[in-house]
Amino acid sequence: MELIYIGIFLFAVAFAVVAIFASVALKRAANTMETLGETLSDVEKKMKHITPELQKMLEETGRTADDINDKVAAADGVFDSLNHMGTSISACNQMLHSKTTKLPAFMSPRFMDRLTDTLKWGEVANQVYRKWKKDGLKENVNLSTSKK
C-alpha cells in the first residue's frame, strides 16, 4: 500500500511540475501577446498618421501624371511639325537629286569655257557702261557750267 501512496505522490509531483511549466509557458505567451498588442497598437497609430499622407501623395502623383499627359499632348504638335518638315526636306532632297542628275551636262569643259567667256564679256560691258555713264555726267556738268 505504501507503494501506491508513493506512486500517487510521484504522480502529484509530476503533475505539479507539468502545471508549473505550463503556467510559465502560458505566462510567457501572455506577455508575448501583450507586447504584440502594444506593437500593433503603435502600428495602428502610425498607419493612421501615414494613411492621409499616402493619400495626399497619391493625389499629387495623379496630378503630376495628368500634367505630364497634358505636356506630352502639347508637344505632339511640335513632333507633327517636325514630321512635316522632314517630309518637306525629303521631297526637296528628291527634287535636288533629280536636278543634279542633269548637272554633269552643264559641267562639261566646253560649257564652262563658254560660261567664263560670257562672264568676262559681261564684265567688260558693265565697265564700258559705267564709263559712258560717268563721262556722260561730266559732259552734262561741263555743258551746264559753260552755259552760265
Q: Distance between alpha carbon 78 and the CA centroid of its chain, in Å?
A: 14
Residue 144 is predicted with a pLDDT of 56
pLDDT in tens, the chain (148 residues): 788 999 999 999 999 999 999 999 999 999 999 999 999 999 999 888 888 888 999 999 999 999 999 988 888 888 888 888 888 888 888 888 877 776 666 667 777 788 889 999 999 999 998 888 877 766 655 555 555 5
Helices and strands: H and E segment counts in the chain: 3, 0
Q: Distance between alpha carbon 120 and the CA centroid of its chain, in Å?
A: 58
Instruction: Show the cell assigned to 68.
Output: 505630364
Residue type, 125: A
Separation between Cα atoms, residue 15 and residue 9, nearest integer Å:
10
Residue 137 is predicted with a pLDDT of 61
SS3 102: coil
Tell me if the pTM is above 0.85.
no
